[in-house]
Amino acid sequence: MNKPMEVEIEKSWKLALKELFQKPYFDQIAAHIKAEKELHKTIYPKGAQIFNAFEQTPYDQVKVIILGQDPYHNPHQAMGLSFSVPDGIKPPPSLMNIFKELNKDIGMPIPLTGNLTPWAKQGVLLLNAVLTVRENEPASHAKIGWMDFTNDIIQKLSEEKKGLVFILWGNFAQQKIKLINPLKHKILKAAHPSPFSAYNGFFGCKHFSATNEYLVQHNNNPINWAI
């Protein structure tokens, strides 16, 4: 019997996801990434940041989940948090639209940085459905097993916790509704913040104030969305 692969991930998540790391899809993910690296493919985010969402938001601190699709595929952008870019990197258009909605919803000034780590540290799990991507090839790792892994995580959060807010922007994210118990959690849906769809229902969705209202109603501290 093969020894389960040792995964470097924040300790509360390591315990919570122990059985997932022993599933066949996880060996498949690891083998695929290893093979691409041996072919000198550039993969984002860098290895240490693949599980950054979990590092910044321990399992027992999760209050909100903002689901993205896959990491940014251009150099210097991906940092393991959905929609977020490191300090000093220009916020991509979808992130700028998120900031515009925040400004309209709660009056938050448009930030000078696109680094969303302050949200993550307050319990906002910035989870991409796919955790890696090849440089300049969007969705290139969409079928290597990550989706099975993150689907299991979403379902586990739904089953084991209560009073979470799941923020699902766009059709892709909304396909995950079947994994979430609406009797235990708040599900917020809107169009994707991409420039191609933001005017079809993302702008004006007021998801940030709605999130905080729900958290307060369930005796949780609201998120300070200011960055």
Catalytic residue (choose from 27, 60, 70, 87):
70
Question: What would the DSSP string read from start to end of 42-91?
Answer: -EES-GGGTTHHHHHS-GGG--EEEEESS---STTT--SSTT---TTSPP
CA distances from 100 to 22, 168, 188, 194 (A): 42, 18, 18, 12
Is 70 considered catalytic here? yes
The answer to whether 116 and 218 have CB atoms below 8 angstroms apart is no
Among 77, 42, 70, smallest CA distance to 145 is for 70
**DSSP H/E element including 186:** strand 186-190
Beta bridge partners of 190: 169
The answer to whether 9 and 55 have CB atoms below 8 angstroms apart is yes
The catalytic residues are 70
